[in-house]
Structure 1
Amino acid sequence: MNKTLLDILVCPVTKASLTLSKDGTELISKVGGMAYPVRDGIPVLLETEARTLTADERLDSGSAK
């Protein structure tokens, strides 16, 4: 994902910054505890499409997955 795009995208719920998962398939909001999918290189920043992070993912200091 483009670094500039990642720098300007925020969680639609909390407005906190997002990080790209290690495998590049999700944008992670640690503050919101949500993971938003990236489909065909396009972030899907809809709360209804997000999944809740597991307890382990929330504690992980790096990106989820």
Structure 2
Amino acid sequence: MDKKLLEILACPLCKGELKYDQEHQELICRHDALAYPIRDGIPVMLEQEARTLTTDERLNK
């Protein structure tokens, strides 16, 4: 994930900061507890494509 792109991307719901999860190829919004997938190097920033973080993920991410 390009660091410059990550700096300008924000959660589409809360406009908050996103954290890059390289292992799972996702962008994580801790505030909304959502993980947005990255497919073929392109972040999919659609709420309906995001998955909800599990309780363990919320505490550990």
Aligned partner of residue 35 in structure 2, secondary structure? strand
Q: Which has the higher contact order (CA 8 A, sep 6+)?
A: 1
Cα distance, 1:22 vs structure 2: 3.4
Equivalent-residue separation in structure 1 for 2:22 and 2:8 (angstroms) = 19
Correspondences of 1:10-49 after superposition (within 5 Å): 10-23=10-23, 25-49=25-49
Return 5+ residue gaps in structure 2 as ranges: none
Length-normalised TM-score, structure 1: 0.88
Runs of 4+ in 1 over 3 A off after TM superposition: none
Percent identical residues: 56
Any stretches of 5+ residues in structure 1 without a counterpart? Answer: none
Separation of aligned partners in 2, 1:24 and 1:6: 16
| 2: CA distance, partners of 1:59 / 1:24 | 16
